[in-house]
Chain A
């Protein structure tokens, strides 16, 4: 135990003047098991429409396909329209599917990768955000280093709020991965004369492919 820690806690406890940290800790830890929510926004009637509207307002582009089998064609269409070659780095969780004419490398991204393709754990209608979890099959760099990030979003995985996303995370995973990243559109900066520029350090383009209806 460092001197600094002891000094800081000594001063904290002197200021609070509450005593018995053990009992207080037990009470607060017990309360953590049932975390209450704050004021909640109105629930949109159509989650997918709300998500799509918000994502587009954040300068993401959005496509929609009926089924997972339609995704490779949608990716090829998007890359073709942007004049990009049919190749990308993709998260290993996507390795099982048939990607047709696309040439994919399933790995963590490196600087030379210009397109990264990932799924998402879920998506949030309130803010048009993707929730990405780091894991061996979903490395965080795929949605970070390439100039273009293509994300696949199953419409059944769109939840109303961040609280709903956390509830899903607790149910399905139990604990937090190293990194939970909420991604809301291409990276941006306003640091020169408050002028918004897309493509600061992260992706310049975020393209979402909604799957299902």
Chain B
């Protein structure tokens, strides 16, 4: 584990994020756009005569088939990638991956690295490692470029700068590009994108090494599959003399046909597109007579906690294809933004992965950062039961004694009461009377203004109270009438 986690500070960060008006404005603007895009994608699927449930079952089966024999699929991938002329390196964790890449860059005399989006690079803390070695990493996805200028981590796995407003981006560009700051409106966004294009084009042409992630690794052909809209993925994997593919060991798909099936769901789930602008399959390096392409291609395949999930209760999480649909439909994500989660992956998938990859004890709040609404589970294109996995993590916390003593005692008492109906009913009768007694009557009904046992509940609203008698009492009384 590397890439320092701040996930222990979720609650403190959540408070800050709720109070951040600029962030709240950006999130409020983004959420309906994300959900509308996926709806459009699903409509186009149906228009082609394809059923989401059937597509999801097929995608889930492909990913599960890989996990069922992941060791062998990785052997097949490695053999075929090497046969096609690539080199394959293995890293147990992010730090080892960063070390392998820094050593390779130093051996090859690399000074500038252009990067296409890789979340594994965030797990590995790769930019910091490269910078420390005197090598300049340049993020080239526009969103990643913005957060790199801001010296922040991405706040979303497919829209890294979703938390930034135009004004904030303009301030970053003005400083980085050495020009005065201008008043910008949404009409200026094309100009701003063009400015980044001009600046980054120089880096694309000058870089000695390109680093990309891989959306998938295709076992049949030993290829990396890369899905982008901006074309930066193609630049990074075509122009520099070295190409490094940095990705996780779970990204295998068996065949090109399986890849085609997943491609009907990935862009639609992520951005609502039927297909992303550029889908590339990269196999080996420059061939005899080729006029372009890297002379050397190196895969760095990283475990960082993945292998340990195989065969266990959390294995379904390894099916994830990183589309972002779960966070795009999560009320907790859109209340707080991605930075509140404190490590690399936000939203529901991040709340599952962060404790699993960085340690249960290092992300105690995340399995509880859920309303239980299951919107994430219902949109997931590979059928990951995210709410169930979050519940499983809560149980694991409890089993390891990681919950506070007060909460554990309360849960034990509740468990005892739930199994003893007489005592339960007696307590509920008393509680109903007590709550009624606590309330004050006003025009809107009887309400508790300040509830001493749980003051946070009434900090921003009143708690309406019932008539002072339990459901059972009322039911029995009506039956008598």
Give the complex CA separation of A13 and B220 in angstroms.
21
- Which residue of A is nearest B260, CB measured? A162
Are the CB atoms of B280 and A182 closer together than 8 Å? yes
Asked whether any CB of chain B lies closer than 8 Å to the CB of A197, the reply is: yes
Task: Tell me the A140-168 residues at the B interface (CB within 8 Å).
Answer: 140-141, 144, 161-163, 166
Pair count A-B, CB < 8 A: 270
**Do A201 and B140 contact each other (CB < 8 Å), given the known contacts A4-B91, A15-B308?**
yes
Q: How many positions in chain B have a CB within 8 Å of any CB in the partner chain?
A: 104
What per-residue 1/0 map shows which CB atoms of A106-144 lie under 8 Å from chain B? 011001000000000000001111000011100111001
Known interface pairs A7-B92, A107-B291; A189-B29 also in contact (CB < 8 Å): no
Say whether A191 contacts B194, CB under 8 Å.
Answer: no
Q: Is B388 in the interface zone, CB < 8 Å from A?
A: no
CB contacts (< 8 Å) of A29 on chain B: these are 76
Nearest residue (CB) in B for A1 is: B90
Known: A39-B58, A182-B278, A200-B232. A5 touches B90 (CB 8 A): yes
User: In whole angstroms, what is the CA distance A4 to B100 when docked?
Assistant: 11
Closest Cβ neighbor of A193 among chain B residues: B166
Contact between chains at B291 and A139 (CB < 8 Å): yes
A134 to chain B, nearest CB (A): 6
**Chain B residue at minimum C-beta to C-beta distance from A6:** B90
A187 touching B289 by the CB < 8 A rule?
no
User: Are B303 and A201 touching (Cβ within 8 A)?
Assistant: no
Which B residues touch A92, using CB under 8 A?
291
Q: Which of B69-98 contact A (CB under 8 A)?
A: 69-76, 84, 89-92, 96
Q: Which of A166, A187, A191 contacts B146 (CB 8 A)?
A: A191
B219 partner, pick from A32, A127, A140, beta carbons under 8 A: A32
- Is B55 located at the chain interface by the 8 A CB criterion? yes
> In the assembled complex, which residues on chain B have CB atoms less than 8 Å from the CB atom of A28?
69, 72-73, 76, 254
Chain B residues within 8 Å of A189, by CB: 142-143, 193, 229-230
A35 to B260, CA, bound (A): 12
- For B26-37 the 0/1 string (1 means CB < 8 A from A) is 100110011000
A35 in contact with B71 given A177-B287, A179-B293, A190-B159 (CB within 8 Å): no
- What per-residue 1/0 map shows which CB atoms of B237-260 lie under 8 Å from chain A? 111000000000100001111101
Chain B nearest CB: distance from A46 CB in Å? 15
A100 within 8 A of B: no
Q: List 15 A-B contacts (CB under 8 A).
A: A12-B307, A16-B71, A29-B76, A32-B76, A39-B55, A41-B49, A144-B234, A162-B260, A187-B229, A190-B159, A192-B166, A194-B29, A194-B34, A200-B229, A200-B230
